[in-house]
Structures are given as C-alpha cells and as structure tokens.
Amino acid sequence: MKNKNKTVWSARFNNATSKIFEKIGASIDIDKRLYKEDILGSIVHTQMLIKQKIISKERGIKIINGLKKIRNEIKKNKFKFNKKYEDIHLNIEKRLFSIIGDNAGYLHIARSRNDQVITDFKLWIKKASKETIKNLNDLIKSFLKKSESNIQTIMPGFTHLKNAQPISYAHYLLAYVEMFKRDKKRFTNNINYIDECPLGVGALSGTSYKIDRNFTSKKLGFKKPTDNSIDTVSDRDFVLDFLSSASICAMHISRFAEELIIWNSDIFKLITLDDRMLTGSSIMPQKKNPDPAELIRGRAGKNFGSLQAMLTTMKGLPLSYYKDMQEDKELVFNSYDTLLQSIIISNELIKSLKPNKKRMLDLSNEGYTTATDFADYLVQNNDLSFREAYKISAKLINYAEEKKKKLNQLNFNEVKKIKNDLNKNVMKVFDVKNSVNLKTSLGGTSTKNIKKMISKLKKEFK
Ligand code: ARG
C-alpha cells in the first residue's frame, strides 16, 4: 500500500480493513454534514496550540490556511470524500497532508477524535435546535393568525371523540400554540445543557500538554469547558435530549394532523383543505385525500424510532467511547430532517385550512353539549348541589332524546316539566354561544379570554 492511500492509524496494521467492514464502518457519507463544525473546531484548536506555544505560529498558520482551503473545496463540491478514511475528521486530516505536507501531522496534538466528534456534533445540534425554534415560531404565528379570524367560530369540543362542550375554534387553535411553545422551550433548554465544550479532553483522560480549554470553549461559543474527561467522551445525553424533544414535537404535530384527517373526513366535514394540500386517487375520480397530513402523522414514527434506537444503543455501554456511538449522527440527522419538514408542512396545512363554520355550529348543538351548563345554572340560580342539578339535567336529556330534539329545540314548557320552578331566562343556557362565553375562568374558552390571549401572544410572537 502506498503511503498516500494509507489511513492515519495504519502504522500497526499489516492488512487493509476488510471491504465489507469498510462499508459499515465508514460514516463519511453521513458525517460529512459536520464539515463546517469540524473545520471550525480544528481552526480554533490550532489557534490555541499557537497561543500556548505548543506549535510554532508559522506552522499553525499553514494548518489554518490549509483547513480554510478544504472548507472552500467542500463548499464548492470539489472535495473527494473517501470511505477508506472513515469519517469527516480523517478525510479532512488526510487532505490537509496533501495540501501542506507533514505540517498537517501537528494538528492532532492534544486532541482525539473522541473529543473532536462531540465538539462538532454539539455545535451542529445547537445550530439545528435554533433552526427548529425559528420554524416553530413561524408555525405559531400561522396558528395565531388563524385563531384571530375564528374567535367567534363555535364548534363542539370533544372528549373520547364524543361531543362534550361547545368551544371557540380559536381556543382550540391556541391549545396547539401552547404545545409548540413548550416544544420551543425544550429545544431552548437543550441549547443550555449542551453549552459545555468537550474539546481538549482527548481520548478519555485529558492531556499532558499545557492546553487552554477556556480559550477554545469561548472561541467556539460555549459557556465553559466540560468538567470530567471520562464523562465528556462517554456522554450522549445531548443527543438524547435532541431526539426526545424532536419526538415530543413530532407527537404534537401528529395529533394535529390526525385531527385534520378526521375533521376533513366526509363524516365530520368540519374543515376543508386547499387542493395544494390534497392528492387524488388513481381509480376513484371523486377523491381528494389529505396525504400531507397523513405523512406528517406517519413520519412521527421515524422520530420516535430514532430516540428508541439511541436509548437502546446507550443503555449497555460501559464508559467511555465505543464505536456504537457513531450511529448517533444518522439518527439525529434523520430525525431533524423529518421534523423540520413536518413543521413546514404543518404551517402550509394551517394556512390552507378553512373551517366549515356552519357545520361546526350545527355539530356543536348535537350531543346535548349544554347539559353541563344547565346543571351549572341550577346550582347558581336554584340553590341546588351539583349532584342534584346533574340528575335533573340528565332527566332533561332523557326527555330530549325521547322526543328526538336537541336541547336548543326544547321550549320553556318542556323544560319546566322537568323542574317546575324555573325562570324563563333558563332558556339561554341552551345557546352554545352563551355557553362559550360563560367560560370566563382563567384559561377558559370565553371570547374575552381568547382576545386577551391572542393579543398577549401576538406581542410575544411579533
Ligand atoms: N467517527 C467516529 C464517531 O463518530 C469518531 C470517533 C472515533 N473514535 C474512535 N476512537 N474510533 O464516533
């Protein structure tokens, strides 16, 4: 084997790596996505080596210029990635040798791929978390816009998918805003947890060189260096945090997608979606199917799968570094790509969605949704306990059911049959709009509450 083709660690090896192992051992097709972070980390590491007089300035500058040249080559698609050199770190180092010769051999002083890879990966996950947060902000804004135009849109709120109580459609949409806000917080918290720089812990035990980890940490935008070298190279909590936050966010989006699918069905007919968000059937000419929503729902499984795979990978690993961990990149990249697309498509979906206001209102009168309001009226006006009032309300429902009438179709005489000392103003409790507006308790669905919430949220998401 000519030296030119040898991997950097070949000195003690008599045979080349088996081809079949090379196939799964090489991660370059995946981790080349870390090239910017890898080169940045190497440049800062070199600057530190110069500052600490571990290498000469002249040599350091050659290394840095070589690295910048490589960055340019990769950016312009002129870099030839080679599986033989396993991963992004060794591909870059190998190329550095061909550009600046033996000076390249000084770059890896006081560093190991073990600290290098997590430095790269932490930087990348920070960037990805920020991008996710940005897209969640856009999604929240679209939900806010839709809720603003639907404050007076009344629909049945469901529990167990049975009509429960009337709500404002805006209030329902704002529920998702709360979920997405928590998702954002999770990604923001992760950025804080991630904020300790691994660079300089070496393979696992630290290094005998007089390095300055505070310098590299600061230059790379971390709050501080990590405290324990063994933990540093063993730790993939930051990967799990990302995957878990992505999974929870994907789960929220999937619930939203599921509701769109149900509400768009010919049975519910609560919403319509723009043609851009529908597809046709190859056999049934009448069909318009909500494929994008279905795909979002289906793809949440990929996010959960990545989390499950990573947890399983980690659970049996003794300290510290093992090659098992190399699989983490693919899981995170897949999960991120999937989630980002799901967020963007959800944004398109919410924009393209039209509530069928008449159907929503009609349906909110189905299923005796104001039965609780009637019971509450009796407690508040007729001095009854809630349990007594509940029984009277149940009697009224039985009567309405028997007469095949909705509660708002009953007349005062019929209601009086159930309880004879009622005031005529009781009849307003069967009006769903009135029901909504009575829910003035903090966080309830009254118009007043919703307006307040929307204006507060609009200030938060300008
Ligand atoms: N590509 C490797 C990974 O992502 C880099 C670390 C390699 N370290 C080692 N000791 N083989 O895990």
Cβ contact 165:369 at 8 Å: yes
Residue 117 CA: nearest ligand 1 atom is 5
Tell me the backbone φ, ψ of residue 319, rounded to 5 degrees.
-75, 145
Tell me the backbone φ, ψ of residue 2, rounded to 5 degrees.
-70, 145
Cβ contact 436:154 at 8 Å: yes
| β strands within 108-256, DSSP E | 154-159, 162-168, 196-197, 224-225
Residue 87 CA: nearest ligand 1 atom is 1
Residue 323 CA: nearest ligand 1 atom is 12
Q: Where are the domains of the chain?
A: 17-109, 114-362, 366-460
Q: Please tell me the distance from the alpha carbon of residue 306 to that of residue 314, in angstroms, as a whole number.
A: 12
Instruction: Please give the model's pTM, rounded to 2 decimal places.
Output: 0.94
3-state secondary structure of 166: strand
The Cα diameter of the chain in Å comes to 103
Q: Quick one: pLDDT at residue 284?
A: 84
Q: Please tell me the distance from the alpha carbon of residue 70 to that of residue 95, in angstroms, as a whole number.
A: 8
* Helix 169-193, helix 237-263: angle, nearest 10: 170
The residue ranges of the chain whose pLDDT is under 50 are 1
Q: Please tell me the distance from the alpha carbon of residue 157 to that of residue 357, in angstroms, as a whole number.
A: 14
Residue 196: which region, alpha, beta or left (left: phi > 0; alpha: psi -120 to 50)? beta
Q: Quick one: pLDDT at residue 160?
A: 96
Q: Do domains 114-362 and 366-460 have the same CATH topology?
A: no
Cβ contact 296:342 at 8 Å: yes
pLDDT digit string (tens) for 154-195?
999 999 999 999 999 999 999 999 999 999 999 999 999 999
Residue with CA at minimum distance from ligand 1 atom 10? 114
Mean pLDDT, the chain, as a whole number?
96
How far from 139 is each of 182, 335, 350, 421, CA to CA, in Å?
A: 13, 18, 8, 52
Q: Please tell me the distance from the alpha carbon of residue 433 to that of residue 166, in angstroms, as a whole number.
A: 8
Residue 19: CB partners within 8 Å, gap ≥ 6? none
Residue 121 CA: nearest ligand 1 atom is 4
Q: Quick one: pLDDT at residue 14?
A: 82
| Distance between Cα 236 and ligand 1 center (Å) | 13
| Distance between Cα 88 and ligand 1 center (Å) | 10
Test site for ligand 1: of 323, 325, 327, 329, most ligand atoms within 8 A of the Cβ: 323
Q: Please tell me the distance from the alpha carbon of residue 368 to that of residue 390, in angstroms, as a whole number.
A: 13
Cβ contact 455:447 at 8 Å: no
Q: Please tell me the distance from the alpha carbon of residue 109 to that of residue 356, in angstroms, as a whole number.
A: 66
Residues annotated as catalytic are 160, 281
| Distance between Cα 34 and ligand 1 center (Å) | 13
Tell me the backbone φ, ψ of residue 240, rounded to 5 degrees.
-65, -40
What does CATH list as the number for 114-362? 1.20.200.10
Give the CB-side neighbour count of residue 202, counting CA atoms within 13 A.
11
List the alpha helices (DSSP H) in 365-426: 371-382, 386-402, 412-418
* Helix 113-148, helix 328-352: angle, nearest 10: 10
pLDDT digit string (tens) for 80-122?
999 999 999 999 999 999 999 999 999 999 999 999 999 999 9
| DSSP string covering 312-379 | HHHHTPPSS--GGGGGHHHHHHHHHHHHHHHHHHHHHHHHHEEE-HHHHHHHHTTT-TTHHHHHHHHH
Tell me the backbone φ, ψ of residue 157, rounded to 5 degrees.
-85, 145
Radius of gyration, CA atoms only, the chain: 31
Q: Which residue has the tokens 């080559």?
A: 73
* Helix 113-148, helix 35-51: angle, nearest 10: 130
State which fold the 17-109 domain adopts: Fumarase C; Chain B, domain 1 (1.10.275)
Residue with CA at minimum distance from ligand 1 atom 3? 326
Q: Please tell me the distance from the alpha carbon of residue 128 to that of residue 416, in angstroms, as a whole number.
A: 63
Q: Please tell me the distance from the alpha carbon of residue 34 to that of residue 329, in angstroms, as a whole number.
A: 9
Cβ contact 127:135 at 8 Å: no
CATH class (in words) of the domain with range 366-460: mainly alpha
Residue with CA at minimum distance from ligand 1 atom 4? 326
Cβ-based neighbour number of residue 275 at 10 Å: 10
Residue 252: CB partners within 8 Å, gap ≥ 6? 176, 179, 180, 183
Residue 269: CB partners within 8 Å, gap ≥ 6? 263, 356, 359
Residues with CB under 6 A from ligand 1: 27, 87, 113-114, 117, 321, 323, 325-326
3-state secondary structure of 211: coil
